[in-house]
Amino acid sequence: MSVVLEMTGVVRVHGQGAGEVVALAGVSLTVREGELVAVMGPSGSGKSTLLNVAGGLDTATSGSVQVCGREIAWLGAAERAEVRRQDVGYVFQDLNLVPALTAAENVALPLELDGVRAGVARERAIAALVLVGLESARDRFPEDLSGGQQQRVAIARALVGRRQLVLADEPTGALDSVTGDAVMRLLRDRIDAGAAGLLVTHDARHAAWADRTIHLRDGRILRSDGAGEPADLMEADA
Ligand SMILES: Nc1ncnc2c1ncn2[C@@H]1O[C@H](COP(=O)(O)OP(=O)(O)O)[C@@H](O)[C@H]1O
Ligand SMILES: [Mg+2]
C-alpha cells in the first residue's frame, strides 16, 4: 500500500528563549493507504500539533513531512494551502464551519475549491450528509444546529471527495456514544476505501477502530501498539 504520510524527525518549537515550548521533539511516523492510526496522550503532549504539522496547517521547525510524496515542511503558505485542499480532510476540535453557509454548502466547499462543478459538489455533499444522518438539516445554517449536528457536518466535510489524508482531532467529543460510534464507522469506511488517517482520541473504544495506536508524551512517541492491545494500557492515557 502506498505511503500517504511520512514524517521524519519532526520537531516543532513554539516561542523563543525562556518562553520556548517544544511541542514535538522528534517524531517519525509512516501512515499508509488503508491505515488509521490513533493518537493518544495527556493534554499538552503534542497531539494537536502533530495533526496540524501533518496537514500543513503548521510548519515543522525541523524535520521532513511528506504528504502523498510531496515535501510540505518547507512549502510557502499558498502551496501548503493547495496541498491541504487537494489531499487533506480535517475535523478540528473547534469545527470551523462557515457561519454564512448552509450545512450542504459547508460540505460542498472543499469540492468546489477543488474545481468540482457546483451541482455535482452539492450532490456529493448531500450524499455525505445522508451518511452522517443529517440530510434533513442540509439547508440549515450552523447556528441553527446543535453542537453534535455541527460536528457531523464537519465530519461530512472532511470525508467528502477523494482526499487521501484524513486528520481528526477528537471528532467524537461532543457526540453521544451511539452517534460517536456511527462517526467512527464512517471514518473507518473512508479509510478502507483508500485513505490514511490520524485520529486523536481519549476514548480507548474509539482507538480500537484504528490499526495501531501511538502514545505521545512530551512531544515524543512513547510507544506504538498494534490492534488488540489490552484496553487497560490505552485507558492509562484517558
Ligand atoms: N501556538 C502555540 N504557541 C505556544 N505554545 C503552543 C502553541 N500550540 C501549542 N503549544 C504548546 O505545545 C504543547 C503541545 O500542545 P498541543 O499540541 O496542543 O497538545 P495536545 O493537543 O496534546 O493537548 C503544549 O505545551 C502547548 O502549550
Ligand atoms: Mg489538542
Average pLDDT, the chain: 88
What's the rounded Cα separation, in Å, for the pair 140 and 145? 7
Residue 87 lies in a domain: yes
The CA-atom distances, in angstroms, between 169 and each of 64, 111, 122, 151 are 22, 21, 26, 11
DSSP 10: E
Q: Is any atom of ligand 1 closer than 6 Å to the C-beta of 49?
A: yes
Residue 90 — very low, low, confident or very high, per pLDDT cuts 50/70/90? confident
Residue 212 lies in a domain: yes
Ligand nearest to the CA of 13: 1
| Residue 22, domain extent | 3-96+164-235
Residues across the chain: 238
Residues 115-170 have pLDDT tens digits of 889 999 999 999 989 988 899 999 999 999 988 888 889 888 888 877 899 999 98
Q: Is any atom of ligand 1 closer than 6 Å to the C-beta of 23?
A: yes
Residue 53 lies in a domain: yes
Residue 137 lies in a domain: no
List of residues 6+ apart from 172 with CB closer than 8 A? 151, 179, 180, 183, 184, 201, 203, 206
Interhelix angle 177-192/147-159, rounded to 10 degrees, is 0
Q: How many CB atoms lie within 10 A of CB 177?
A: 11
Number of domains composing the chain = 1
Ligand nearest to the CA of 23: 1
Compute, in angstroms, the gap from residue 3 CA to the centroid of ligand 1.
27
Q: Is any atom of ligand 1 closer than 6 Å to the C-beta of 16?
A: no
Residue 181 sits in a domain whose CATH number is 3.40.50.300
Q: Is 165 in contact with 195 (CB distance < 8 Å)?
A: yes
Confidence check: pLDDT of 29 > 50:
yes
Q: Is any atom of ligand 1 closer than 6 Å to the C-beta of 27?
A: no
Residue 94 — very low, low, confident or very high, per pLDDT cuts 50/70/90? low
Q: Is 224 in contact with 213 (CB distance < 8 Å)?
A: yes
Nearest CA to ligand 1 atom 14: 46
Residue 50 lies in a domain: yes
Single-letter code of the amino acid located at 167:
L
- pLDDT at residue 161, as a whole number: 77
Residue 84 lies in a domain: yes
Beta bridge partners of 224: 214
Residue 227 — very low, low, confident or very high, per pLDDT cuts 50/70/90? low
The position carrying cell 484496553 is 231
Q: Is 23 in contact with 80 (CB distance < 8 Å)?
A: no
Beta bridge partners of 7: 29, 65
What's the rounded Cα separation, in Å, for the pair 102 and 195? 27
Residue 26 lies in a domain: yes
In the chain, % of residues over pLDDT 70: 93
Residue 140 lies in a domain: no
